[in-house]
Amino acid sequence: MTAKKPKGWYGKAAKADRREKRARRARLEQVHRAKKGLGPRSAPSPEDRAAAAERSAIAIAKAKAEADEIGARVEAKAANGREARARSVKEYDRQARALRRDLQPKLSGVDRGTPHTRRQHRKTSFERLCDERAVTGDMAQAAQEIERVYLAICGAVVIGGLGLERGGGGGSAGPISDGVAMAHASRYKPWADEMARMRKGGDWPFLEIVIDVVVDGRTFRDVETEKRMRNGAARHALCWALLKYGVMARWCDVSVLREYEDRYDVHRRALKAA
């Protein structure tokens, strides 16, 4: 519905006034175009209309292409997100199945424990060395005897100390079996004295390295860091000390020990030279 015209809109005087205003605007426009050096306004030619239509079509096509490109990028990003979520869900399901498999009871009767328990019972450096077949039978026997004698002596010292504190007297250091006492007197003590003598001479602390790795289960890296040894030196020192124990116990030939010394740089040459 059109708005109501004002009063006097349809009169002859009003129409004449409107014609006069339109004519005045036309004259002003002609003057303005003349000042700018433009000719009188004329209707666009067919060529101009065709060129304008072509430019409009090109602009529309360009805008459509840009919109299609943006839509393709959005779709690709959404597809990547769906694939990432699918991979995440698949990995979660795999870990859940593995955890359920580890926690379920074993029908074979062998209790492997939970994953946390198995992580706490990882193999020591010496056990991994045995798995690599770098330890011979004589070296393994020497390591077992050193551990048995060392633990027995420590236990006897602790028991003897408790007896003294409780007023039980200090006549004995604690119960030690005959086999351990014989091993300590005939093999362990001479070997430990020899390692102590070499340590005073400036060589590596072989006894401490054997106790740290075999008895305490420390890693070679920790021992090398504490003793300021180069990488791999603690491993060779351990193997040489165990071979030395076997040679002194007459379990293996001294040529095996000399061959190992010739193959690896076992001793602390810098301190010896100093």
Pick from 106, 133, 154: which residue ends a domain? 106
pLDDT (tens digit, 9 = 90+) per residue, 54-110?
888 898 989 888 988 888 888 888 888 888 888 888 888 887 777 766 665 554 445
152 found inside a domain? yes
In this model, does residue 245 exceed pLDDT 90?
Answer: yes
> Is the confidence at residue 118, as pLDDT, over 60?
no
129 and 227 in a common domain? yes
Residues 131, 265 within the same domain: yes
One domain, residues 237 and 138: yes
Six-digit token string for 124: 């020591």
Pair (135, 261) in one structural domain: yes
Alpha-carbon span 270 to 127, nearest angstrom: 30
User: In whole angstroms, how far apart are CA 111 and each of 99, 167, 243?
Assistant: 15, 45, 36
Domain check: are 151 and 254 in the same one?
yes
Residue 6: predicted pLDDT = 65
Q: Would 4 be classed as within a structural domain?
A: no
- One domain for residues 100 and 130: no
Choosing from 106, 138, 155, the residue where a domain stops is 106
DSSP-assigned letters across all residues of 87-126? HHHHHHHHHHHHHHHHHSPPTTS-----HHHHHHTPPPHH
Q: In this model, does residue 259 exceed pLDDT 50?
A: yes
Residue 202 lies in a domain: yes
Interaxial angle between packed helices 137-165 and 233-248, expressed in degrees from 0 to 180 and rounded to the nearest 10: 90
Q: Is residue 6 part of a domain?
A: no
Q: Is 153 helix (H, G, I), strand (E, B) or coil?
A: helix
Calpha distance 183→189 (Å, rounded): 8
Q: In the predicted model, what is the mean pLDDT of residues 19-30?
A: 87
Residue 140 banded pLDDT, cuts 50, 70, 90? confident
Same domain, 83 and 154: no
Residues 185 and 100 in one domain: no
Segment among 4-8, 166-170, 189-193, 232-236 with least mean pLDDT: 166-170
- In a domain, residue 71? The reply is yes
**pLDDT score, position 192:** 92
pLDDT at residue 119 above 60? no
Whether residues 141 and 264 fall in one domain: yes
Short-list 119, 125, 127, CA closest to 223 = 125
Q: What is the pLDDT of residue 269?
A: 54
DSSP for residue 133: T
Task: Single out the residue of 50, 32, 48 nearest to residue 40, CA to CA.
Answer: 32
Contact 145, 177 (CB under 8 A): no
Q: What percent of the chain is modeled with pLDDT above 70?
A: 76
Higher pLDDT, 38 or 194: 194
- Residue 21 amino acid letter: K
pLDDT score recorded for residue 125: 77
Same domain, yes or no: 194 and 244: yes
For residues 156 and 214, membership in a common domain is answered with: yes
In percent, the amount of the chain with pLDDT more than 90 equals 8
Domain count, the chain: 2
Contact assessment for residue 213 and residue 124, using Cβ atoms and an 8 Å cutoff: yes
**210-229: pLDDT as tens digits:** 998 888 888 888 888 888 88
pLDDT band at 175 (very low <50, low <70, confident <90, very high): low
- The answer to whether residue 9 sits within a structural domain is no
141 and 263 co-located in one domain? yes
Of 16-20, 78-82, 98-102, 205-209, minimum mean pLDDT range:
98-102
Which domain range does residue 71 map to? 48-106
Does the global pTM surpass 0.75?
A: no
Q: What Cα–Cα distance (Å) separates residue 172 from each residue in 51, 80, 150, 152, 164?
A: 117, 76, 17, 14, 10
